[in-house]
Amino acid sequence: MASGISAGRQQLLSIGAVLTELQAEFPEVTISKIRFLEAERLVEPQRTPSGYRKFSAVDVERLAYVLRMQRDHYLPLRVIREHLAALDRGENPPALPGSGSGAAGGQGDSAGGAGADEAFDPVRDGALVAGSVAGGTRLGRAELLAAAGITEPQLAEWESYGLVTADPDGGFDGEMLQVARLVAELGRFGLEPRHLRAVKAAADREVGLVEQIVAPLRRHRNPQTRAHAAAMARELATLSVRLHASLVQAGLRARPGA
């Protein structure tokens, strides 16, 4: 589990110090993301008698590994957990997608990440809208089709409904890949793009709400303030996604016969 972080250091770090170290390679990571990965038991820092987290060098290495697998290979947390378990046993982790010997975790998808039976879950997988995938990875149109396991007519239809959008250069970022996978997964249940217009409209309203909050900070002359605005926007997006998922789940449980 090699990285630029020294595994030999014995000093225990606070969560703020861990954030500083990780941001050298993962500028989009947030404290909420680290806490989420802890809640998913991907890392188990020590606790002081007063309850403060203290991370070892091994903990920081594990966090870096998780973030790298999400960013570079679009792996869901379930698969990353299998990788970490194998490493803990002293074994080689499952082959990464596109490595020539099968997809990670036994998935047969050749272009990176989970196949149709391993749908992205924004709560389980740490709400990638927070930026864990967006760190510079770009896909062309053909690459997006292969990675999402969809056809050109499907993509064109989704674009016509505004569900998937290309950047001005014609490329797609990690979030658009996740959107494409989710739309494809919903299609397996009979939901067509026209059925998802309300979801898109709700997302647009949430974007507008976040923009209202961070716009004054983004206009600030101080670069640090503008960087704080970007981090705040990601944090709000993550919380919004998790709130939406929880409200839907709570609403379904409240239905008769649930």
Percent of the chain residues topping a pLDDT of 70: 79
Residue 208 belongs to domain spanning = 194-258
Number of domains the chain contains: 2
The answer to whether 12 touches 55, Cβ cutoff 8 Å, is yes
Give residues with Cβ within 8 angstroms of 98, minimum separation 6: 110, 111, 112
Residue 11 domain flag? yes
Residue 181 domain flag? no
Among the three residues 83, 114, 145, which one is the final residue of a domain in this structure? 114
pLDDT, residue 137, reads 62
pLDDT, residue 10, reads 63
On whether both 108 and 207 belong to a single domain, the answer is: no
Residue 254 domain flag? yes
pLDDT, residue 161, reads 93
Of 14-18, 81-85, 231-235, give the lowest mean pLDDT range.
Answer: 231-235
Residue 160 domain flag? no
Query: What is the band of 219 on the pLDDT scale with cuts at 50, 70, 90?
Result: confident
Residue 152 domain flag? no
pLDDT, residue 103, reads 37
pLDDT, residue 5, reads 44
Among the three residues 114, 137, 154, which one is the final residue of a domain in this structure? 114
On whether both 102 and 4 belong to a single domain, the answer is: yes
On whether both 201 and 92 belong to a single domain, the answer is: no
Residue 203 domain flag? yes
Of 25-29, 52-56, 125-129, 164-168, give the lowest mean pLDDT range.
Answer: 125-129
In the block, which residue shows the tokens 């239809």? 157
Query: What is the band of 155 on the pLDDT scale with cuts at 50, 70, 90?
Result: very high
**What does the mean pLDDT of the chain come to?**
79
Residue 87 domain flag? yes
* Alpha-carbon gap, residue 203 to 177, rounded angstroms: 17
Among the three residues 114, 148, 168, which one is the final residue of a domain in this structure? 114
Closest CA to 214 of 196, 197, 228, 194: 228
The yes-or-no verdict on residue 108 having pLDDT over 80 is no
Q: What does the DSSP assignment read for 138-201?
A: -B-HHHHHHHHT--HHHHHHHHHTTSS---TTS-B-HHHHHHHHHHHHHHTTT--GGGGHHHHH
Residues 17/71/44/4 CA torsion (nearest 10 deg)? -50
> What would the mean pLDDT of 204-220 be, rounded to a whole number?
89
> What would the mean pLDDT of 168-182 be, rounded to a whole number?
89
Q: Is the pTM of this model over 0.85?
A: no
Of residues 10 and 171, more confidence is placed in 171
Residue 159 domain flag? no
The yes-or-no verdict on residue 113 having pLDDT over 70 is no
> What would the mean pLDDT of 78-105 be, rounded to a whole number?
73
On whether both 110 and 211 belong to a single domain, the answer is: no
Give residues with Cβ within 8 angstroms of 30, minimum separation 6: 19, 130, 131, 231, 234, 235, 238
Of 178-182, 204-208, 222-226, give the lowest mean pLDDT range.
Answer: 222-226
pLDDT, residue 1, reads 54
User: What angle in degrees, to the nearest 10, is found between the helix axes of 15-23 and 57-73?
Assistant: 40
pLDDT per position as a tens digit, 31-40: 888 998 898 8
- Residue spans of beta strands (DSSP E) within the chain: 46-47, 53-54
Query: What is the band of 201 on the pLDDT scale with cuts at 50, 70, 90?
Result: very high
Percent of the chain residues topping a pLDDT of 90: 29
Domain with residue 83: its CATH number is: 1.10.1660.10
In the block, which residue shows the tokens 């606070």? 14
